[in-house]
Amino acid sequence: MSLWTSTEIATATAGVASADFEVTGVAFDSREVGPGDLFVALSGETTDGHRFLDQAFAQGAAGAIVSAPTDHPHVRVADSFAALNDLARASRARTDATIVGVTGSVGKTSAKEALFAALDRSMPGRVHRSVKSYNNHTGVPLSLARMPRDARIGVFEMGMNHAGELAALTRIVRPDVAIVTTVASVHIEFFADEAGIADAKAEIFEGLEPGGVAIVPFDNPHRDRLVAVARAHAGRVVTTGTGEGADARAVEVMRVATGGSFVTARIGDSEVSFTLAQPGAHWVSNALTVLAAVDAVGADLAQAALALAEMGGLPGRGARFVAKIAGGEALVMDESYNASPLSMRATLTVLADELGRHVAILGEMGELGDATATYHRDLADPIRGARVDTVLLVGESMRVLAEALEGTTNVVHVRDVAAALDRLDTVLAPGDTVLVKGSNRVGLSRVIARLKGGTT
């Protein structure tokens, strides 16, 4: 089944097709183009996708959206970015799928992937979701444009770092179910306070379809602020958490020997017990959010619980592996994709329960504004609470944390990831449990790649 025909693309974008063609996928990064794809040639501040048309077609593209002349099969439009948004709106308009939108200061990618796994368990091959962390002004319309005609459910991640961004995205996605995982001091430099972040996250509810469901974190200090906005747009508001009064609530949580949790949850009028593979209280929260969404779309809770029991960690977001190091092996917790004050504390709490000597390789956190030094310094107590023997701190913002830990923890502070790589063999020992976490811009994925590659 084709995803789009050239006629459909031209109609959706008010463009002109040069030839009849059909596509089975959509991409705007020429490196990701595969056979049968539609290549959207976007023109940006630093590059122009039209330069890569030959490469895209050499890799098998069946057609392109362009705003400049080309000899390749194409649909010519005035503005290729606007055309991508138009194609996304056409995808949303033609689908009968139930649409779920996910946002939050932390946990949105993990929740999106867990929800996909939970739904795919009972309707395999009929659930579509955003790939990677395609959650911005280009990633969201791309993900919508990629949704198969016969999808039954679509799950879309939506991110923001400024007010107004989610309002625009949610009106394209038009979710039937809108989720806020949590609100925390992420991107705080762009807001007056955390309440401003809550307001920006609550924008997701503005695009809800009539009678839609809003899912709100019950235990978050901004719950009432989120609920107030949700009630103005949703047919029903569902709260999730561990506190008495939550609509989707964990009534019992026990840690199991494998590191995860055994959870008994009450989801509306139903009760389900399951083993959650991923460790940590933050994953219990994720699981409750997922089950609330599964219930909201009318899918099978038991099947969803089985999927959560089997779900492993995601690369950069909780995946674990054993690394070969000089003299033996070490267990590595890969949290290298991103970091915020809240997620740093959450993963350090998980590290606290692990066996072996604890080592933390931590990169600086970004977009914290005037409070950058305070947020970094405040990690000292969680690090000590996690019984970290040695910490390798990466980035200039980590200097205040290094000073705060002096005398209680073995500290190595370096300027960048290249220097961190040079020090790996001096901080690791056989039997260690190693947490690797930092903002994506720090590049700790290079540390993960080195550890996966063999002896340091």
The pLDDT tens digits of the residues spanning 34-63 come to 999 999 999 887 889 999 999 999 999 999
β partners of residue 388: 358
Q: How far apart are CA 235 and CA 217, in angstroms?
A: 17
Longest distance between any two alpha carbons in the chain, whole Å:
71
105 is in an annotated binding site: yes
Place of tokens 């350090």: 348
Across the range 430-447, mean pLDDT stands at: 95
Nearest alpha-carbon partner for 403 in 420, 426, 429, 379 = 379
Dig out the tokens for 452 from the structure: 């996966």
107 is in an annotated binding site: yes
Dig out the tokens for 97 from the structure: 């799928």
Q: How many CB atoms lie within 10 A of CB 447?
A: 25
Across the range 13-35, mean pLDDT stands at: 96
Higher pLDDT, 337 or 26: 26
Q: Which residues contact 58 (CB under 8 A, 6 or more apart)?
A: none
Q: Which CATH number, 3.90.190.20, 2.60.120.10, 3.90.1170.50, 3.40.720.10, labels domain 319-453?
A: 3.90.190.20
109 is in an annotated binding site: yes
pLDDT band at 399 (very low <50, low <70, confident <90, very high): very high
Across the range 385-411, mean pLDDT stands at: 96
- How much is the pLDDT for 454? 62
The radius of gyration computed from the CA coordinates of the chain, to the nearest angstrom, equals 23
104 is in an annotated binding site: yes
* Spatial strand order in the sheet of 358-363: 319-325, 328-335, 433-437, 358-363, 388-394, 410-414
Q: Helix axis angle, 108-120 relative to 281-296, nearest 10°?
A: 50
- How much is the pLDDT for 45? 75
259 is in an annotated binding site: no
Reply yes or no on whether the pLDDT at 414 is more than 60.
yes
Put residue 332 in one of left, alpha, beta given phi > 0 → left and psi -120 to 50 → alpha: beta
Dig out the tokens for 385 from the structure: 């609470």
β partners of residue 434: 332, 359
Q: Which CATH number, 3.20.20.370, 3.40.1190.10, 3.40.630.10, 3.30.70.270, labels domain 95-310?
A: 3.40.1190.10
Across the range 59-72, mean pLDDT stands at: 97
Q: Is 265 exposed, middle or buried (0-12, 13-18, 19+ CB in 10 A)?
A: buried
Look up the pTM and report it: 0.85
Write out pLDDT tens, residues 301-335. Answer: 999 999 999 988 888 888 899 999 999 999 999 99
Q: Distances in Å between the alpha carbon of 155 and those of 98, 120, 126, 129, 303?
A: 9, 11, 11, 4, 17
Reply yes or no on whether the pLDDT at 455 is more than 60.
no
Reply yes or no on whether the pLDDT at 456 is more than 70.
no
122 is in an annotated binding site: no
The CATH architecture annotation of domain 4-80 reads: 3-Layer(aba) Sandwich (3.40)
End-to-end CA distance of the chain: 48
Place of tokens 């460790």: 279
Of 77-86, 118-127, 310-319, 356-365, the least confident: 310-319
Q: For 257, how many CA atoms within 13 A lie in the half-sphere containing its CB? A: 0
374 is in an annotated binding site: no
For the chain, give every domain's residue range: 4-80, 95-310, 319-453
Q: How far apart are CA 245 and CA 237, in angstroms?
A: 13
* Spatial strand order in the sheet of 37-40: 16-17, 74-76, 63-66, 37-40, 25-27
Across the range 352-379, mean pLDDT stands at: 94
Put residue 16 in one of left, alpha, beta given phi > 0 → left and psi -120 to 50 → alpha: beta
Dig out the tokens for 194 from the structure: 């955390």
Q: Distances in Å between the alpha carbon of 117 and those of 4, 128, 290, 348?
A: 26, 11, 10, 26
Across the range 226-241, mean pLDDT stands at: 97
Q: How far apart are CA 283 and CA 385, in angstroms?
A: 20
Q: Is 20 exposed, middle or buried (0-12, 13-18, 19+ CB in 10 A)?
A: exposed
Dig out the tokens for 48 from the structure: 């122009």
Question: Would you say 100 and 74 are in contact if contact means Cβ atoms under 8 Å apart?
Answer: no
Dig out the tokens for 427 from the structure: 């901080």
